[in-house]
Structure 1
Amino acid sequence: MDGARGSESRTERAWIVETPGPVARGPLRAVRRPVPEPGPGEVRVRVEACGVCRTDLHLAEGDLAPHRPGTVPGHEVVGRVDAAGANATRFALGDRIGIAWLRHTCGECKYCAAGHENLCPNSAYTGWDADGGFAEHAVAPEEFAYPLPNGTDPEHLAPLLCAGIIGYRALERAELPPGGRLGIYGFGASAHLAAQVALARGATVHVMTRAEPARRLALALGAASAQGTYEPPPERLDSAIVFAPVGDVVPAALEALDRAGTLALAGIHLTDVPVLNYQRHLFYERQIRSVTANTRRDGTEFLRTAADIGLEVTTTPYPLDRADRALADLAADRVHGAAVLLPD
């Protein structure tokens, strides 16, 4: 299949990270660029929706060092295949697919061989190593794309592709026992999805977050309690996940754990963690586990789970032309649920 011809002279709207820095200084710049062409084994989609992830904010502000100049952010991409490169046969033109954060692994290193492709030293990422979905078209290797259903609004599919997948992996890393007590610190795009998976598994969920609208959302979704970020939950926790990119939260989360509890740190970036007190924070075999990207198996399992439990995705939509506003609102905690860009 080869639908890649005929767009060489066309241009499209896109946003690039020009000079990383505080979002108030406008690190995103709107541009017109040639419509990208898929290479061998790649497909191109006409973007229907693209989620705005906190990782995009970290890239724009320089918390993540840019891997290339002028990168188009966005790695929660939903679109219809409209072109394919040589030897790309997995999808047909018109298929709806998702493009996520992980876009390449070597498949040969010891990590890939052991099923830990998220740790591959030669991995590459959408919106960091290659252009993402803050544009009208996006290109990705077909082997790293996910088939998506036709009957769901693209706006509510987009956050599943990173916020959902990473939240799912963080939940697995937190080793929540059956019917256990889970604490969630920060309640944005990823957390509100992970909470629903935990609730569907019979967990009791307690949410600690600074924003009052987020606390209301947590309670509406079924959380047993919702309080301020540094307030203790009403009972000891078997597991906890820190979604907030704030290292100061870690001691509070550890202190809330019961004996043998596990804390998972879900973010790709975290400010410095304060000095921990061994007896107060770590004794009784409490443990901390980091979360690094995801495997394709995580993505497949999560998307199946999301469909099975009827996940409720809360979004705040923005037109593509307001991507800079979406990023600023995310930085200021003004986004309800997940921010999503809609090109049309």
Structure 2
Amino acid sequence: MRAMIFDGSGKPLRLAEVPVPEPGPGEVLLKVHACGICRTDLHIVDGELAEPKLPLIPGHQIVGSVVRSGAGVGRFAEGTRVGVPWLGATCGTCRHCRSGRENLCDHALFTGYQRNGGFAEYTVADVRFCFPIPDGYPDLQAAPLLCAGLIGYRSLTMAGDAERLGVYGFGAAAHIVTQVARFQGRQVFAFTRSGDAKGQAFAREMGAVWAGSAEERPPDELDAAIIFAPAGELVPAALRAVGKGGIVVCGGIHMSDIPRFPYDILWGERSIRSVANLTRRDGAEFLSLAPRVPVRTEVQPYPLEAANEALADLRRGAIRGAGVLVVGS
């Protein structure tokens, strides 16, 4: 099969012919149709997440169909279309797993990081961490739901019942979260890079009531803010934008250092919290909710062999919505 291989930080992905993997016990072999491009993929190839297995096939927003199953698997029939997210496996026995917090599992394995992912024509996945794809979503439109959607949804739940919600960094996750938040009756205030008129117009198109640069103060005091951009300097900016009791949620797996800030912008029972990974419950809830909104993902397709180009476009903020690799049919 064709696959894009990551050999280590500082090296571009290389296109290679490698053997089709065999599913082990509890696994399914999937023919990959599409795989979303995520900022986490950038953090891996740029060396900011420093413990990938090497060589590695990246990609963790996988849409594929079941080709065959390993021993002990009876969940999905051959041909069933499923999605594979970032959380690829958990131990099920650590204190986090036992308390319903499998996203914090001490021994978790992540798709496209410690397990080979979807930048390939075939992949294997732990059947317990595969989700049925909702009807009505073509492969390309379904792929961003599996990380941008799931992590965005978990971030939104962390924001509580905030009526006025700020979103910093208007990319794949934000354009999905905005649709869900509007469905829930919230007002969304979008923050982009300075001068990003296209991004601000896109945010308003998705339902934001206001869009401006991250350096600006919104016209109304926010109840909560979600930061998707991996820029630590946005944390003090978001704290200044939220009112008393406001929540600032950091939705990424990696962020640059947060600069020093005065206590008075945290005082008033404001809080900062991070989001780590996802649970299968998040997946079931969000993939049930998405068709009711309905969430409509904006995607920019790339062929599998153009994965490096897609990552470069993501790095410079040139993708409207979500980038998706078109792998097979």
Q: Output the amino acid matched with 2:262.
A: N
Q: 1:139 aligns with which of 124, 142, 147?
A: 124
Distance 1:292 1:304 in 2: 21
Query: Which amino acid counterpart does residue 181 of structure 2 have in structure 1?
Result: A
The residue type paired with residue 53 of structure 1 is C
How far apart, in 1, do the equivalents of 2:297 and 2:134 lie? 15
Which residue identity is paired with 1:303? L
| Aligned partners of 1:27 and 1:61 also within 8 Å | no
Conservation of the 8 A alpha-carbon contact between 1:96 and 1:149: no
Structure 2 counterpart of 1:82: 67
State the shift of 1:39 in Å: 0.5
- Which of residues 215, 228, 234 is equivalent to 1:243? 228
Q: How does 1:23-42 map to 2 (within 5 A)?
A: 26-42=11-27
Structure-2 separation of matches of 1:28 and 1:58: 14
Matches within 5 A, 1:251-270: 251-270=236-255
C-alpha displacement of 1:150 = 4.8
Write out aligned runs for 1:69-218 (5 A): 69-177=54-162, 180-210=163-193, 211-218=196-203
Structure 2 spans left out of the alignment, 5+ residues? none
Instruction: Give the structure 2 partner of residue 337 of structure 1.
Output: 321
Percent of matched pairs sharing the same residue: 48
**Distance in 1 separating the partners of 2:182 and 2:92:** 35
Structure 1: 5+ residue stretches without partners: 1-11
1:19 aligns with 2:8: yes
Contact 1:44–1:84 under 8 Å retained in 2: yes
1:292 corresponding residue in structure 2: 276
Contact 2:134–2:291 (CA under 8 A) maintained in structure 1: no
Paired with 1:166 and 1:149, the residues of 2 have a C-alpha distance of 17
Compute the displacement of 1:216 (Å).
Answer: 1.0
Give the Cα separation in 2 of the matches to 1:151 and 1:186: 28
| 2:267 aligns with one of 256, 268, 283 | 283
SS at match of 1:121: coil
What letter is aligned with 1:282?
L
The question of whether the paired residues in 2 share the 8 Å contact of 1:176 and 1:182 is answered with no
Give, in whole Å, the separation in 2 of the partners of 1:162 and 1:271: 21
Matching residue's letter, 1:221: M
Deviations 1:120-142 (A, max 9, x none): 10111000011000000111010
Question: Where does 1:223-234 land on structure 2 (aligned, <5 Å)?
Answer: 223-234=208-219
Query: How many aligned positions are there?
Result: 326
Per-residue CA deviation, residues 246-303 of structure 1 (Å, 9 max, x unaligned), is: 0011110000001100000000000000001001x20111000110001000011011
1:149: Cα distance to partner? 3.4
| Structure 1 segments of 4+ aligned residues over 2 angstroms from their partners | 149-152
What amino acid maps onto 1:157 in structure 2?
A
Q: CA deviation at 1:174?
A: 1.5
So what's the TM-score if we normalise by structure 2? 0.97
In 2, distance between residues paired with 1:72 and 1:66? 14
Root-mean-square deviation over aligned CA pairs: 1.0
Once residues 122 and 227 of structure 1 are traced to their aligned partners in structure 2, the CA distance between those partners, rounded to angstroms, is 41
| Range moving further from structure 2, 46-55 or 146-155 | 146-155
| Range with greater deviation from structure 2 (313-322 or 150-159) | 150-159
Instruction: State the AA in 2 paired with 1:230.
Output: E
Return the offset for 1:27: 2.6
Deviates more, 1:147-156 or 1:61-70: 147-156
- SS of residue in 1 equivalent to 2:310: helix
Contact 2:44–2:52 (8 Å) recurs in 1: no
Instruction: Classify the secondary structure of the residue corresponding to 1:34.
Output: coil
